[in-house]
Structure 1
Amino acid sequence: MDFLQAATAATSLLVLLYVLNLLQWFPFIPSLLKNQNKNKKRNYPPVAGTIFHQLLNLPRLVDFMADISRRYKTTFRMLTPSINYVYIIDPANVEYILRTNFTNYSKGYSFYDVMKDLLGDGIFAVDGDKWRHQRKMASYEFSTKVLRDYSSVVFKANASMLCQLVSEAATLNQMIDIQDLLMKTTLDSIFKVGFGVELKTLSGTSEEGRAFAKAFDDSSIQVTRRFFDVTWKVKRYLNVGAEAMMKKNIKIIDDFVYKLIDTKLKQLAEDQDDFMKKEDILSRFLIEKEKDPVNMTNRYLRDIILNFMIAGRDTTAGTLSWFLYMLCKHPDVQEKVAEEVIQATNMRDKVPIGEFSLSLTEEVLTRMQYLHAALTETLRLYPAVPLDPKLCSKDDTLPDGFDVREGDMIIYQPYAMGRMKFLWGEDAEVFRPERWLNEDGVFEPENPFKFTAFQAGPRVCLGKEFAYRQMKIFAATLLCYLKFKLWDERKPVKYKTMLTLQIDGGLFLCAINR
């Protein structure tokens, strides 16, 4: 009897989900009919498929979208039950939505609705006053010499610790998951620079920090899946499947972050004069909270912290992982980068790893033009954020002549754009750092609406130079002392479909001491 009751309940649940799924399409049917009439007068982008095609191709989503982009070579639509997903790859269109008509293309409620459980009212999920407030404060912080100097000290210390750990593994001929190590050390770095906390995930002494990082990664995967799962709200309401797991992960995240905020507030209460001298970003936001406790709630601080974390940890660790993967696939480039580092730092005679960081001054890092080009070439092919959506606020016409409607989600595609031959030439899919250097070997930037890894316009990434400095410090330290090879050349390297482009299952390398 219990079995029959369980089976009946399961069947009823499936039927409910199916019916609710169908109901979500009903508002879409009149819209489709209406749009068909409109199409006689307006020039809407061609339909390349539906959200269900994307769901079927979710494990290779950005490659699936790149394949369609190659086929259409222009703007196209993917239909969903409620709105159109309009995909663009033309730099003129990208410039139009990111700068020229910026006010008409916001994050929008749909994006916020999907993201709010994880990112809340943080800078990556909101528009309007909250975005401007965080942007203003972050812009000031990233421009200060205090933060630049303090962050450089933290990056150098953590790069040395990572290099020492990898060097020991190389001596023992042990396999290393370099992405896992980079995720841990960049998490340690952003928590120290951003929040003044020694997390110590790289050393393995923080179980709490490790649980927090895993919960955040799992939640990042789930919120991405929400864009292509028309039943996610039903699952969240019923607290089943991945949405039930996400609820548990959000609690782990919240408990960890609120504990951090409480600790910092106690420090502030104990010694406000000393707190004013703090170099970390959270301390400065807490000082702001003292001035405006109504708006600067603990929940708002929690959201700010998580948005800083995804900017300072996921993006740089992911890019460095893809960078080392590219160097393993192109050993000639790896040796060119290593030689440049050795020349720039004058380290023909090796010093202990812990002393090497002293040579990495701003001037020395600036001389590493080929390293800068190799990192940028990595970002061209493996951008940290492969897809970036904006909501169209009112009917508009894009520069390529295609019309878009109020409520359409306009998505520009850094990943696909980096692979378009009409943008980068016949060798668009070839890893070639030299494309970024002029005849004198000096790095030359590209149009930011063509190379969109850091966004552009009013929302351009404030931490761009911050990220480059961190990546160059880590890359220079590792490559001065170590060579890298793939542990298994035959094993394919794939990405996980999530907010940021990370390698699925890790990147397993063999390190060799130089």
Structure 2
Amino acid sequence: MNALKEILKQFLLVLVSHFTNKKSRYSYPKMNMIIFTSIATPLLLIIITLSSFILKTFIGKSIKSPKYPPVIGTVFGQLLYFNKLHDYFTEIAHKHPTFRLLAPDQSELYTTDARNIEHILRTNFDNYSKGENNKDIVTDLFGNGIFAVDGVKWKQQRKLASFEFSTRVLRDFSCKVFRKNATKLVRVVSDFAKVNRDFDVQNLLMQCTLESIFKVGFGVDLNCLEGSSEEGSAFIKAFDDSNALIYWRYVDPFWKLKRYLNIGCEASLRNNIKLINDFVLNLISKKRKQLGTNQHSNEKEDILSRFLIESKKDPMMNDQYLMDIILNFLIAGKDTSANTLSWFFYMLCKNPLVQEKIVLEIEKLAGSQENAATIEDFVDKITDEVLEKMHYLHAALSETLRLYPAVPLDGRVADMDDNLPDGFKLKKGDSVYYISYAMGRMPYIWGDDAEDFKPERWLNDNVSNMAILQGGPRICLGKDFAYRQMKIMSIAVLRFFMFKLADESRKVTYRTMFTLHIEGGLHLLAVARTSL
């Protein structure tokens, strides 16, 4: 290392001497040409490589053609705005509803035009796929799960998942689980309220939704809310960190090299994924044994048990494949609901009148807790009939999703050249992303009050949430599942507590990853409406 430093020092001093006409003890005649060559050659190779990289990024991209979307920069510029990436895209989208960032192998199109999104997700669905680059980035975490595959594997999982989500058995079982965990959540919040202590509601909601999805997905009780599952807590952290590290790959040009060398963030990612995989594979193994010894148990209510039964008909569905399927369900079931509810409570704290309107609706439809002997008695009153009538609560949750979509950015890759409805072209291999976060803030979609939190706008039957929950063949299968969970939890805690921000001056923002986490959590104070 010291020798290398001395070589670099000599080389730099020679350059300084040459350009400043100052004498140096390291002059060209005295300098060993081998040393000079050993430095100059790698530098020349680096310059040639970078030049080739730059030329590849800009050549053949029809940059000045009005037939293609305007070029705003390159994908590498995202590094500068990574921590506020969605707001950066929103600023651009105000001027250019469809725009491009250049990448070495293709262009990346970003759009907030609803016509384009309907075209990609529905009208011309067969012309778009996940693309090899996207698959390469996400496969380490998502494997061959539904979020990472196309074709036969996607159709198989879609068909199986669609059937499972439509069964009355899963609906009844999941609602039972949601009510049980909502009761636990009320008791945990009550403990904080009694001592007037603030708490991170996002962390609690993550634990609660993870418990729910593990029970519904695996038939396993994690007991995260009681703090008795160290394994469960470690899993949550590894899963969330992996989510963020995988997303970082989209802007890190050296991630493959880091993965090969197993250094930096890629080394951390590998360790996290190993923890995740070991945890899930162990659960699958235990569930196989349980099903083998107890064919007639009620364990078949959970998704994994039902998939394991299905796997007996299909040898391709081994433990690894089942793990990939379940991990995809986990990110859909845990992150989306917990994140949306976190932003929902943030919005209620910023808009206390909305919070009180929801409470009035709860009192009208679910009754008051004074008429219930226990928390469980009240939560049991949150029936399917009550949930269906909670129109204002549903509107408030939808308004939260509009401004803070669970998946703020998503997209596809064009398998053939195509023309978008807004008149722009794209080439085979180009990526095209729809920016749900920016769409919720576009005046040409929502009006001049686009950035205002107004649940009333969702009471209009003409409002469409296609861009929020995906449309077309890939429409969100768990939409109703997620709304039921969010409504049950919201009704339970809002009936017993009023919430306010622990620190009104703190700027609340997101953590850039696949799903829209609140950076640093959301610390609230809960005030009991009446004694429990």
What TM-score, normalized by structure 1, do the two folds share?
A: 0.93
Distance 1:359 1:8, change over 3 A: farther
Distance 1:288 1:491, change over 3 A: same
> Which amino acid in the other structure matches residue 69 of structure 2?
P
The SS at the match of 1:35 is coil
Instruction: Find the counterpart in structure 1 of residue 420 from structure 2.
Output: 398
Which residue of 216, 229, 241 maps to 2:264? 241
Which residue of 130, 133, 138 maps to 2:161? 138
Distance 1:22 1:263, change over 3 A: farther
The SS at the match of 1:349 is helix
> Which amino acid in the other structure matches residue 354 of structure 1?
E
Which residue of 74, 77, 90 maps to 1:66? 90
> Which amino acid in the other structure matches residue 477 of structure 2?
L
> Which amino acid in the other structure matches residue 463 of structure 2?
E
Q: CA deviation at 1:389?
A: 1.5
The SS at the match of 1:284 is helix
1:129 aligns with 2:129: no
Post-superposition CA distance 1:344-401 (Å, at most 9, x none):
1121625221211111011111111110000000000000000002011111110111
1:270 aligns with 2:280: no
Instruction: Find the counterpart in structure 1 of residue 307 from structure 2.
Output: 285
CA distance in 2, matches of 1:333, 1:39: 48
Q: CA deviation at 1:33?
A: 2.8
Determine what percentage of the aligned residue pairs are the same residue. 52
RMSD: 2.3
The SS at the match of 1:272 is coil
Post-superposition CA distance 1:308-350 (Å, at most 9, x none):
0001000000000000000000001101111111111121625
Q: Any conservation in 1 of the 2:58–2:104 contact (CA below 8 Å)? A: no
Q: CA deviation at 1:55?
A: 1.1
Instruction: Find the counterpart in structure 2 of residue 497 from structure 1.
Output: 512
CA distance in 2, matches of 1:44, 1:29: 19
The SS at the match of 1:227 is coil
Distance 1:245 1:345, change over 3 A: same
- Structure 1 segments, 4+ long, off by >3 Å, are 5-12, 15-25
The 5-angstrom pairing of residues 414-493 of structure 1 reads 414-438=436-460, 444=461, 446-449=463-466, 452-493=467-508
CA distance in 2, matches of 1:226, 1:240: 14
Post-superposition CA distance 1:265-287 (Å, at most 9, x none):
11122123437x61000001111
Number of equivalences? 498
Q: CA deviation at 1:469?
A: 0.4
The SS at the match of 1:261 is helix
CA distance in 2, matches of 1:360, 1:57: 44
CA distance in 1, matches of 2:118, 2:156: 24
> Which amino acid in the other structure matches residue 459 of structure 1?
R
Q: Any conservation in 1 of the 2:71–2:101 contact (CA below 8 Å)? A: yes
Distance 1:26 1:465, change over 3 A: same
Bigger radius of gyration: 2
Which residue of 374, 389, 393 maps to 2:411? 389
CA distance in 2, matches of 1:309, 1:228: 25
Q: CA deviation at 1:49?
A: 1.5
Q: CA deviation at 1:81?
A: 2.4
Which residue of 159, 168, 186 maps to 2:182? 159
Instruction: Find the counterpart in structure 2 of residue 332 from structure 1.
Output: 353
Instruction: Find the counterpart in structure 2 of residue 441 from structure 1.
Output: none
CA distance in 2, matches of 1:155, 1:201: 14
Instruction: Find the counterpart in structure 1 of residue 344 from structure 2.
Output: 323
CA distance in 1, matches of 2:268, 2:4: 21
CA distance in 2, matches of 1:393, 1:260: 38
Q: Any conservation in 2 of the 1:21–1:231 contact (CA below 8 Å)? A: no
Q: Any conservation in 1 of the 2:57–2:103 contact (CA below 8 Å)? A: no
Q: Any conservation in 2 of the 1:25–1:81 contact (CA below 8 Å)? A: no
Structure 1 unaligned segments of length 5 or more: list them.
439-443
> Which amino acid in the other structure matches residue 85 of structure 2?
L
Instruction: Find the counterpart in structure 2 of residue 225 from structure 1.
Output: 248
Task: After superposing the two structures, state which structure 1 stretch, 198-207 or 318-327, moved more.
Answer: 198-207
Q: Any conservation in 1 of the 2:508–2:519 contact (CA below 8 Å)? A: yes
